[in-house]
């Protein structure tokens, strides 16, 4: 019971702090890559669009990438991450955190131009 109360207080504090904070870009720690123009996602994997398995998946889904994105990194099975670093389901990303700046297809199954970042 005490654990539930403590957890509720922590969650309420984090939500209150998030509501009061001014909007700002999400950036990685230690001078690593930043996500200034894209969206922060939790992806199952990130692979080159020109790799065999990704090319096959794109073909099966009828997705034709423009020539400029033919060799871009593609995030597969991605979910958006909130500013607090939490997935909509309330869990944290345990796979690959990525910044995706390209198009999204099939409800997040395929995300174009994704790069790994560390939060």
| pLDDT > 50? residue 71 | yes
User: Is 9 contained in some domain?
Assistant: no
**Residue-wise pLDDT tens digits, 27-49:** 444 444 568 878 889 999 999 99
Instruction: For residues 49-74, give the mean pLDDT.
Output: 91
User: Is 82 contained in some domain?
Assistant: yes
User: Is 54 contained in some domain?
Assistant: yes
| pLDDT > 70? residue 18 | no
Q: Which residues contact 57 (CB under 8 A, 6 or more apart)?
A: 76, 110
Instruction: For residues 78-103, give the mean pLDDT.
Output: 78
User: Is 6 contained in some domain?
Assistant: no
User: Is 19 contained in some domain?
Assistant: no
Using DSSP's 3-state secondary structure scheme, residue 80 falls into strand
Give the C-alpha separation, 116 to 55, whole Å: 20
User: Is 100 contained in some domain?
Assistant: yes
Using DSSP's 3-state secondary structure scheme, residue 82 falls into coil
Give me the domain span that covers residue 103: 24-116
pLDDT at residue number 76: 94
User: Is 8 contained in some domain?
Assistant: no
Q: How many domains does the chain contain in total?
A: 1
User: Is 57 contained in some domain?
Assistant: yes
| pLDDT > 50? residue 24 | no
Give the C-alpha separation, 21 to 45, whole Å: 31
């Amino acid at each position: 019971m005490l654990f539930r109360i403590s957890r509720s207080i922590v969650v309420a504090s984090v939500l209150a702090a998030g509501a009061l904070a001014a909007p700002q870009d999400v950036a990685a720690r230690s001078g690593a890559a930043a996500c200034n123009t894209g969206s922060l996602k939790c992806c199952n994997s990130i692979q080159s669009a020109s790799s065999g398995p990704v090319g096959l998946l794109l073909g099966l889904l009828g997705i034709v990438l423009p020539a400029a994105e033919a060799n871009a990194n593609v995030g597969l099975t991605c979910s958006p991450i909130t500013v607090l670093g939490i997935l909509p389901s309330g869990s944290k990303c345990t796979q690959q955190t990525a910044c995706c700046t390209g198009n999204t297809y099939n409800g997040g199954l395929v995300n174009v131009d994704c790069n790994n970042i560390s939060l």
